Amino acid sequence: MSASAAPVLYNAARANPEFAHAVAGGLTRRGQKTLPPSWFYDEVGSALFEAITVLPEYGLTRAEGALLSNAADDIVRTSSHPGLVIELGSGTGTKTRHLLAASARYRSVDYLPIDISAAALDSCVKILGTTDNVSIQPIEATYIDGIETAVAGSKANRTAGEPALLLFLGSTIGNFDRTQATSFLARIRKRMQPGDYLLLGADLVKPRAKLLNAYDDPTGVTAAFNLNLLARINRELDGHFELSQFAHEARYDERRSRIEMHLRSRRAQKVRIDALGLTIPFATSETIWTESSHKFRADDVSRTGCRAGWLFVRQWVESEWGFAETLFQKAK
Ligand code: AVI
């Protein structure tokens, strides 16, 4: 995505310059307009995402919770009872509870959740803060900066050769395309120590109707989550999007095993964004592509990790919904 074309005249008093830049770049690019999914998660978006995770149609979070709860002992035994657990994009950390409790039965555990949302980290500390034998040190940062901070900060406390367990759960890996996913997994491997483990959660391919229902639920929660991106532009960048003039759309690209979320303009319109000094034209039915959610075959997940230089250790699969946890290790 090119973000260089548009002048970004953001209102420095209120706007996050990175958000301003992403919006200007994504909405002025030639061809398909885009907005990156990382900007879904302001306070409203995070609350809507929490609601999505309990929808009957969105089985992903429940399946992963059940898998982690059933396999927690097995996972911590296979990853050498880690005393250091680092989690990328922890959110509220609800699913992680089982793993921490299983590891903390053997030893004291340092848990370092990494998230860009301070609100999510606060809830994480509230939810997991009372787990026996677990000490939590939240890190408010992007993934790569957060891992660097976590690994550097924990060096002094780590006995040499004692492996850490890095968690990347929730199928967030599916929000990258295949090439980006491999290069991201390679980048995080570089920052970990030899012998460290990675547990990667990935949603598996399932029938089209089941997927479309999960990303276009009849209650409209996912639609609200998607439309909130426009509302966020209105709030933070003095945008003039009329939300009723855009529709949430979920599509399934079977060849790429990918759900796409779009916001479709219901009519030809021009939308002013004051803080950016931009007016964005939309044709009737033109869309803004806001998210891709790639789905995996179980052996795809191990192949993707191995292509990034990780060694495959073991995989656990929940087959009712279709979800896999895959454990990798960095070579010693
Ligand atoms: C965070 N991520 C893995 C979710 C997903 O399923 O791609 C975000 C989401 N988008 C719509 N519903 C949920």
Per-residue pLDDT tens for 130-165?
888 999 999 999 899 999 999 888 776 677 778 999
Instruction: Return the best residue to mutate from 35, 95, 215 for the ligand 1 pocket (most ligand atoms within 8 A of CB).
Output: 215
Which ligand 1 atom minimizes the distance to the CA of 214? 12
| The predicted structure's pLDDT at residue 227 | 98
Residues 86-132: tens digit of each pLDDT: 999 887 788 899 999 999 999 999 999 998 888 788 888 888 888 88
- Pocket probe mutation, ligand 1, options 48, 204, 293, 323, max atoms within 8 Å of Cβ: 293
Task: Give the mean model confidence (pLDDT) for residues 223-230.
Answer: 98
Between strands 109-115 and 84-88, the pairing is parallel
* Per-residue pLDDT at 4 exceeds 80: no
Q: What is the pLDDT, as a whole number, of residue 251?
A: 98
Residue whose C-alpha is closest to residue 110's, from 74, 131, 80, 83: 83
How far is CA 262 from each of CA 290, 299, 308, rounded to the nearest angstrom? 5, 29, 30
Q: State percent of the chain over pLDDT 90.
A: 82
According to DSSP, residue 236 is labeled H
DSSP string, 237-275: H-B---GGGEEEEEEEETTTTEEEEEEEESS-EEEEEGG
**Pair of tokens at residue 151:** 């690994």
Q: pLDDT band at 14, cuts 50/70/90?
A: low
The vertex-88 CA angle with 85 and 93, nearest 5°, equals 70
User: Which strand (E) or helix (H) includes residue 144?
Assistant: helix 143-154
CA–centroid distance, residue 170 to ligand 1 (Å) = 8
Tokens read off for 125: 């500390």
Instruction: Report how far residue 330's alpha carbon sits from residue 257's, in angstroms, rounded to the nearest whole number.
Output: 28
Query: For 264, what's the count of Cα atoms within 13 Å in the CB-facing half-sphere?
Result: 10
Predicted pLDDT at 123: 85
Q: Which amino acid is at 293?
A: S
Direct distance between the N- and C-terminal alpha carbons of the chain, in angstroms, rounded to an integer? 37
Q: How far apart are CA 124 and CA 89, in angstroms?
A: 11
Q: Which residue in 178, 321, 158, 143 sits closest to 253, CA to CA? A: 178
Three-state SS for 294? strand
Amino acid at 327: L
Per-residue pLDDT reduced to its tens digit, 257-300: 999 999 999 999 999 999 999 999 999 999 999 999 999 999 99
CA 144 to the chain's CA centroid: 13
Q: By alpha-carbon position, which residue is closest to atom 1 of ligand 1?
A: 172
Q: What is the mean pLDDT of residues 180-207?
A: 97
Q: Which tokens sit at 184?
A: 């991201």
User: Six-digit token pair at 142?
Assistant: 């992007």
CA 89 to ligand 1: nearest atom? 1
The residue nearest atom 12 of ligand 1, judged by CA position, is 215
Check whether 2 has a pLDDT greater than 70. no
Ligand 1 proximal residues by C-beta, below 6 Å: 52, 60, 170-172, 174-175, 215, 222, 291, 293
293 Cα: distance to centroid of ligand 1 (angstroms): 7
Residue 70 has pLDDT above 90, yes or no: yes
Handedness of CA 321, 164, 166, 301 (dihedral sign): negative
Given a cut of 90, is residue 11 above it in pLDDT? Answer: no
Across the chain, what does the average pLDDT equal?
93
Cα(64)–Cα(172) distance, integer angstroms: 12
What is the sign, positive or negative, of the torsion defined by CA atoms of 20, 173, 48, 251? positive
For residue 57, report the distance from its CA to the centre of ligand 1, in Å.
13
Closest ligand 1 atom, CA of 171? 3
Q: With a cut of 70, say whether residue 9 has pLDDT above it.
A: no
Mutate to test the pocket of ligand 1, among 171, 216, 291 (most ligand atoms within 8 A of CB): 291
Q: Which atom of ligand 1 is nearest to the CA of 172?
A: 3
